[in-house]
């Protein structure tokens, strides 16, 4: 008995030594900051230094702040502009690429995936040049359609849709890959059976491909939803939230309040709202995917 409990202790010590490095980092840079941001949101602390407990004042101020609602609206607008379009485009591209074979398929797939591995600042610099109002290569096309060149990042109507286009170009390759993996997981016998039963290509898509691809579609939609709510980089680099705050988003508000206006407490309150929004979506995603039969 004594030997057993000694072995037990040894076993547990070994287990703890295995988890200790991860756990130490996790507690330090993840869990502690999570509690800290909650605590800060109830104070009037500057970015560096202590503040006083002010209860719910930050949240009262936040829910009366027009910029907060503008940011929230822009976040949702951006989600609408990107999530479903990028999923549809990715599905279309995946279906097209999946028809190809061998080297051609690898080449075309690489073409669509390459932007995804570029740093965001490379992406924004390329697009800023392409859309330059004086010399941009896209401007003649815009001029042909609306009759004049358009400074897209300085126009309130154009700024968000343009950032959405840039974002879709940048991140779409990831979704294409997920759809291709999903398509490859569909057994070919199902198509053979469908063809034997005289199904048209259209019926094959609506009766075989689409239902079996639904779990991947759900995954892509929810991953995109979470990703696009965290919008910051592209907006900061392309339009700085302007013009007239028409591309101001929550994470940009966190950045401005904390790092430029030195309002650590207020910025934490904004961050907490975003935090809760994303957690809710993530929990929904988790449930949704579980219902869909995944782990």
Partner 1 sequence: MIRTRRIENITLSAITLFAAAIWVFPLYWALVTSLRRESRVVSDSAGLLPDEFNLASYIDAIVNTRLLTWYWNSIGTAVIITVVTIITSMMCAYAISQMRFPGRRVLYMVVLASFMIPAQALVVSQFILMNDLGLINTWGGIILPQLIVPVVIIVYKQFFDAVPKELREAVLLDGGGEYTLLFKVYLPLNWGITAALSIITFIGAWNAFFWPFLVATSESTMTIPVGITQVQDTFGVQYARVMSVALLAAMPVAVAYLVFQRRVTEAVMISSGVKG
What residues numbered 136-165 form the site for partner 1, per CB under 8 A?
A: 137
Q: How far does Cα 37 stand from its chain's mean position?
A: 22
Looking at the Cβ atoms of 156 and 280, the one nearer to partner 1 is: 280
Rounded Cα distance, 170 and 115, in Å:
5
Q: Measured from the CB of residue 139, what is the shortest distance to partner 1 in angstroms?
A: 13
Among 7, 23, 187, 210, binds partner 1 (CB under 8 A): 23
Residues 205-224 binding partner 1 (CB under 8 A) are: 216, 219, 223
Residue owning tokens 């579609």? 217
Looking at the Cβ atoms of 136 and 156, the one nearer to partner 1 is: 136
* Contact present, 89 and 71 (Cβ < 8 Å): no
How many chain residues are in contact with partner 1, going by CB under 8 A? 88
Q: Which stretch binds partner 1 (CB under 8 A): 57-65, 78-86, 98-106, 203-211?
A: 98-106
Q: Measured from the CB of residue 268, what is the shortest distance to partner 1 in angstroms?
A: 5
* One-character DSSP codes across 15-66: HHHHHHHHHHHHIIIIIHHHHHHHHHTTB---SSS---B-TTHHHHHHTT-H
Is 194 a binder of partner 1 (CB under 8 A)? Answer: no
Residues 174-193 binding partner 1 (CB under 8 A) are: 174, 177-178, 181-182, 184-185
Is 16 a binder of partner 1 (CB under 8 A)? Answer: yes
Cα torsion angle, 205, 209, 212, 216, sign: negative
Rounded Cα distance, 128 and 133, in Å:
9
Residues 50-69 binding partner 1 (CB under 8 A) are: none
Q: Measured from the CB of residue 265, what is the shortest distance to partner 1 in angstroms?
A: 9
Q: Measured from the CB of residue 246, what is the shortest distance to partner 1 in angstroms?
A: 21
Is 80 a binder of partner 1 (CB under 8 A)? Answer: no
Question: Among candidates 13, 5, 70, 57, which has minimal Cα distance to 245?
Answer: 70
Q: Which stretch binds partner 1 (CB under 8 A): 36-44, 73-81, 145-153, 188-196?
A: 36-44
Q: Measured from the CB of residue 55, what is the shortest distance to partner 1 in angstroms?
A: 19
- Alpha-carbon torsion angle 46, 48, 51, 54, nearest 10: 50
Among 121, 141, 206, 260, binds partner 1 (CB under 8 A): 121
Residues 232-271 binding partner 1 (CB under 8 A) are: 232-233, 237, 251, 254-255, 258-259, 264, 267-268, 271
CA distance to 26, 46, 115, 263, 264, per residue, from 260 (Å): 28, 11, 31, 8, 10
Among 48, 64, 145, 196, binds partner 1 (CB under 8 A): 48
- Alpha-carbon torsion angle 141, 143, 149, 153, nearest 10: -50
Question: Among candidates 221, 114, 235, 229, which has minimal Cα distance to 163?
Answer: 235
Q: Measured from the CB of residue 19, what is the shortest distance to partner 1 in angstroms?
A: 5
Q: Measured from the CB of residue 133, what is the shortest distance to partner 1 in angstroms?
A: 11
Rounded Cα distance, 216 and 212, in Å:
8
């Amino acid at each position: 008995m004594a030997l057993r409990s000694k072995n037990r202790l040894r076993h547990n010590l070994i287990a703890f030594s295995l988890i200790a490095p991860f756990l130490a980092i996790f507690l330090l840079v993840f869990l502690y900051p999570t509690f800290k941001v909650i605590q800060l949101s109830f104070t009037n602390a500057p970015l560096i230094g202590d503040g006083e407990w002010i209860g719910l004042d930050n949240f009262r101020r936040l829910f009366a702040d027009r910029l907060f609602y503008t940011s929230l609206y822009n976040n949702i607008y951006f989600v609408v502009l990107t999530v479903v379009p990028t999923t549809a485009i990715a599905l279309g591209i995946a279906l097209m690429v999946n028809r190809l074979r061998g080297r051609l398929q690898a080449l075309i797939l690489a073409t669509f995936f390459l932007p995804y591995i570029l740093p965001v600042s490379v992406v924004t610099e390329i697009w800023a040049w392409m859309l330059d109002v004086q010399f941009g290569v896209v401007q003649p096309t815009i001029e042909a359609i609306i009759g004049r060149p358009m400074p897209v990042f300085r126009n309130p109507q154009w700024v968000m849709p343009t950032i959405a286009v840039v974002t879709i170009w940048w991140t779409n390759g990831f979704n294409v890959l997920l759809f291709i993996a999903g398509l490859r997981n569909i057994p070919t016998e199902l198509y053979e059976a469908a063809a034997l039963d005289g199904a048209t290509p259209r019926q094959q898509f609506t009766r075989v491909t689409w239902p079996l691809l639904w779990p991947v579609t759900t995954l892509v939609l929810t991953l995109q939803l979470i990703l696009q709510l965290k919008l910051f980089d592209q907006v900061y680099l392309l339009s700085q939230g302007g013009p007239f705050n028409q591309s101001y988003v929550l994470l940009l508000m966190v950045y401005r309040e904390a790092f430029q206006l030195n309002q650590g407490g207020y910025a934490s309150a904004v961050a907490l709202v975003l935090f809760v929004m994303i957690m809710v979506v993530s929990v929904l995603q988790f449930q949704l995917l579980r219902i869909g039969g995944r782990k």
